[in-house]
Amino acid sequence: MGGMTLFEALGGREGIDKIVEEFYSRVEQDSHMRPIYPQDLEPGKLKLFMEQWTGGGPRYSERYGHPRLRRRHFPFVIDKLAAGKWLRHMRGAMQACNVPGEAQSVIFQSWGPLAHHMVNDDEDVPREPLNDAVLQ
């Protein structure tokens, strides 16, 4: 990536905003994925998470504390199909936003296993949401 951070390769905050908005437009049209998401499809958390994960700053953790991604996703019943579709929609969003292939490769090396780690449809897990208060 020529010395660029992932955050820079994605186009910074503006680029991440576009990717996430494109991703949510794909989710909105997907009959399997749409019911997993809240009615309002607010993209703020994912934008902040992507910014932090790609090296753009800790705004997610400052607002919500440690990501604890798997636990934060327990309230949603996620099956293998949903994990695969999440990855396809995110890759499609990145391609539509012209994210360089090398950056996509780096991202999906981690996000592929991570998406499948979120699968919980056959597990007895706590389904109540975590409190989103900032950890003191």
- Reported as a single tens digit per residue, the pLDDT across 19-73 is 999 999 999 999 999 999 888 888 889 999 999 999 999 999 999 888 889 998 8
Task: Tell me the two tokens of residue 33.
Answer: 């994925």
Domain-located, residue 33? yes
- Here the tokens at position 53 are 């994960």
Q: How many residues does the chain have?
A: 136
Percent of the chain's residues with pLDDT above 90: 74
Classify residue 106: in a domain, yes or no.
yes
pLDDT at 132: 59
Per-residue pLDDT at 133 exceeds 60: no
Domain membership flag for residue 131: no
Residue 37: CATH number of its domain: 1.10.490.10
Average pLDDT over all residues of the chain: 92
Per-residue model confidence (pLDDT) at position 43: 84
pLDDT given at position 135: 36
Q: For helices 101-117 and 80-96, what crossing angle results, to 10°?
A: 160
Distance, CA of 60 to CA of 52 (rounded, Å): 6
In a domain, 134, yes or no: no
- For 36, the domain range is 6-117
| Section 81-86 average pLDDT | 98
* Least confident piece of the model among 74-78, 100-104, 127-131: 127-131
* Tally of domains in the chain: 1
Q: Are 61 and 51 in contact (CB under 8 A)?
A: no
Give the lowest-confidence range in 34-43, 73-82, 103-112. Answer: 34-43
